[in-house]
Amino acid sequence: MNGDLLDAIARRELLRRAGLGALALAAGSSALAQAGDYPRRPIRVVVNNAAGGGVDVVARAITQPMSEAIGQPVVIDNRGGAGGLIGGEAVAKADADGYTLLATAGSMVVIAPHLYRKIAFDPMKDLVPVAPAGRATLFLVVRQGIPVQNVDQFIRHLKANAGKLSYGSAGNGSSLHLAGEMFKQQAGVDAVHVPYKGAAPAIQDLLGGQLDFMFDSGTALEHVRSGRLRLLAVANMARSSLFPDVPTLDQSGLKGFDAGSTYGFFAPANTPAEVVNRLNTEINRTMSLKPVRDRLMAIGAEPTQGTPQQFAAVLREDSRRFGEIVRERKITIE
């Protein structure tokens, strides 16, 4: 191969690389330009559970004022099923352009990967955290016929009736189920788990005396206020602003007990950082509005704000904690 040919090949390679560099630069400039005038059209928020559920309430409370602030419609698209995985997968596989978001309870992200043997996507890798919205508070409630007034008495009652009491949940692998298993493990007690298709029917059976206790978020609160259920403790590390005099399980002797998870917004992985940051700013701004905060607190959620990085750190810790209980209690879903 002569020198002239080598020079020609070298020149072609330099030109090729220069062209690729120009294309990359143009693509980067285009992405920045898109982020600068984002959003230019309606944003779709996939809610991965049914209308009226906790995630749906949180999403609607936030998206309406957010839509007014950004000057574009923010449209809710309810896609429930498979523990939230159907909606989660739809967003994970959507275009990473900031126009399709996921609103979900963090439990889908931090619990599902530990439960399912096969899952079509990896929530921790295929979704990027955008902003937290609220910490879902769980409450330990018992039916009125249970002769206890506090956690210590309840644990002694459970030990005296080992395996005879039952608790309900929103289904196998739900955060309510894992809270019950966490409680059994830390308290050293035994009770029968009865899974339901959602928290509402479980609450009805608790009221009817077919169940003895359960962990729940907002569904049970009206019955606590009416006196039909007795609230013993908060299952998060912090007390609830709704019931500031009610201790946490941590304060009641079960050190470090925390079964809470975080509502939040996610985008497909590889969504431009500028777009994620813009969304984070708008969601945090909306979360500072009193009507929004009041709506979340009404369903037992503690409003939260934070950066995408802070949200990601919370999710990692929740994943570690729930992963441990899933493995230790050998909980699986096919």
301-303 and 127-136 strand pairing: antiparallel
Cβ atoms 240, 246 nearer than 8 A: yes
Radius of gyration of the chain (CA): 24
Helix (H, G, I), strand (E, B) or coil at 120: coil
CA–CA dist 77, 60 (Å, integer) = 11
Residue 165 has a pLDDT of 98
Q: What is the DSSP letter of 311?
A: H
Fold classification of 43-136+262-328 is D-Maltodextrin-Binding Protein; domain 2 (3.40.190)
- The count of other CB atoms within 10 Å of the CB of residue 28 is 11
Instruction: List per-residue pLDDT tens for the chain, 334 residues long.
Output: 444 433 443 444 444 444 444 444 444 444 443 567 899 999 999 999 888 888 999 999 999 999 999 999 999 999 988 888 999 999 999 999 999 999 999 888 999 999 988 889 999 999 999 999 999 999 999 999 999 999 999 999 999 999 999 999 988 999 999 999 999 999 999 999 999 988 889 999 999 999 999 999 878 899 999 999 999 999 999 999 999 999 999 999 999 999 999 999 999 999 999 999 999 999 999 999 999 999 999 888 999 999 999 999 999 999 999 999 999 999 988 6
CATH superfamily for domain 139-234: Periplasmic binding protein-like II (3.40.190.10)
